[in-house]
Structure 1
């Protein structure tokens, strides 16, 4: 169902920056990656904006709060994991060439876990920069996004292998094939219902998987919407972006779906986050 909502768009300095990932930082501000500009942006509670240049070829994608009070982000263009403190101090951990890191999340062990898109692996980086890489039992699987599950494990999507995976803290990997062929999962998040929710950009569906591997799929009203990112709603269900449909959507725990049209045509919503005041923010 398409419904109305109060939607406000906030322009960022510098057209063409390519806002991609977004999260709420430990300082309560919104932090974004600027994929095209190779930078990071911060928007304070009063709307004040500050940006930092990382590197023109860094192509930062996903950003997440770390266990050390800083923000960590993937640099898919130059194979690094970036770190920025809340006062703007930048540093990075170099990864093996050809890694192509995408999704990143703080794991249950106090380290950062990331998806190595181009290397068929899941990686782990401690806040001190110590690295471990875990090969996946696929070739060309295109590991995309990661999320910490309720079971002391990290879950991830394999966009080209059409599967959702789980990796334990001991490195043991389990893959779960999706029922729909060509579903191409991307975003994944831990829901408040104890399951993992994910989007199927190729099938126009949302998915839910329990820690024991039971999968349910929910077709979207617009199957051509190309859902991209998903985040848990603390009040229940999840919010997600429709990259091709130019909408923000919400799925309830029973599978009921509501969608909200964005004011600007072809704004291509990517990442999204829910602020402490329950406001939903998306990177356009």
Structure 2
């Protein structure tokens, strides 16, 4: 097993809940603090910058937009937010009230696409704030994370036990999972077009190949609660084990390797490739973890 070097950067109090993380257009790390209604920015080895939202807004997923800003969901406030690198914040309310936006990602069409967990819809918001909503073909699906690939968006349907695809025309295709009640959450698309996703209730990582075949990789600890997933520059998927305090990866032969985080019970959530070529994970206990290996991640 290739050893990892894990450095921890304290960015908030333990009750702030760093949740999702991404690399911004300014080559800084941007992250949400779900329990305190804040957006954070970190350049490694500098003090973090914190931007305050409504305290109970519940910012969840954050991503780069096509307009040089960061876009994020406010799960509890039922809004979509935009923040510029200098901290100017704008917020937009989708047409459907109390829709529970969660996942968000930039699409190939120059808009942002997001999930509405409580409304069984996928939303699309342009950079000027115009929102279009697309209903899903299943009720109670709880669409969660979302990612872009080619000319479509892929998303997890947590309570429908499926992976969804929505084209730029709004047409939705559903791929049912082989394992019942797997509860997919995180999703990412690799450079080869493979769609990787976490099965939080089944303790597995799934792969939907470009030809539509689904393969599931059981984790060594099936109770690990895998949450978020990303891919490195080589296409290797990396994921967080929220319930087991670990990060892990899958090699091309399907071998799963997991690594314990240094601080017990740190509750890892989001994971992304950083501007420095390292992996970064958001730990709900107030820390960002920088993860490097003797084998290159980039």
Q: TM-score range by the shorter chain?
A: over 0.9
For 2:234, the equivalent position in structure 1 comes to 235
Give the secondary structure class of the aligned counterpart of 1:6. strand
For 1:159, the equivalent position in structure 2 comes to 158
User: 1:158-237 to 2 correspondence within 5 Å?
Assistant: 158-237=157-236
Q: Distance in 1 between matches of 2:26 and 2:201?
A: 36
User: 1:25-44 to 2 correspondence within 5 Å?
Assistant: 25-44=24-43
The count of corresponding residues between Structure 1 and Structure 2 is 282
User: 1:60-99 to 2 correspondence within 5 Å?
Assistant: 60-95=59-94, 96-99=96-99
Structure 1: runs of 5+ lacking an equivalent: none
For 1:57, the equivalent position in structure 2 comes to 56
TM-score by length of 1: 0.97
Are the equivalent residues in 2 in contact too, given 1:28–1:45 (CA < 8 A)? no
Deviations 1:234-255 (A, max 9, x none): 1231110000110011112332
For 1:133, the equivalent position in structure 2 comes to 133
Are the equivalent residues in 2 in contact too, given 1:200–1:207 (CA < 8 A)? yes
Structure 2: runs of 5+ lacking an equivalent: 284-298
Are the equivalent residues in 2 in contact too, given 1:4–1:261 (CA < 8 A)? no
Q: Distance in 1 between matches of 2:214 and 2:54?
A: 40
Q: Distance in 2 between matches of 1:137 and 1:98?
A: 20
Are the equivalent residues in 1 in contact too, given 2:28–2:275 (CA < 8 A)? no
Deviation at 1:45, TM superposition (A): 3.7
Deviation at 1:78, TM superposition (A): 0.7
Deviation at 1:97, TM superposition (A): 1.4
| Greater relative contact order structure (CA < 8 Å, 6+ sep) | 2
Deviations 1:151-200 (A, max 9, x none): x1000000000000000000110000000001100000011222111010
Give the secondary structure class of the aligned counterpart of 2:6. coil
Q: Distance in 2 between matches of 1:63 and 1:127?
A: 15
Q: Distance in 1 between matches of 2:104 and 2:211?
A: 23
Deviation at 1:65, TM superposition (A): 0.3
Give the secondary structure class of the aligned counterpart of 1:8. strand
Q: Distance in 2 between matches of 1:172 and 1:211?
A: 18
Q: Distance in 2 between matches of 1:267 and 1:178?
A: 30
Q: Distance in 2 between matches of 1:132 and 1:13?
A: 35
Give the secondary structure class of the aligned counterpart of 1:271. strand
Are the equivalent residues in 2 in contact too, given 1:193–1:253 (CA < 8 A)? no
Q: What is the root-mean-square deviation in Å for CA atoms of aligned residues?
A: 1.1
Deviations 1:28-49 (A, max 9, x none): 0000000000010000143321
Q: Distance in 1 between matches of 2:165 and 2:265?
A: 34
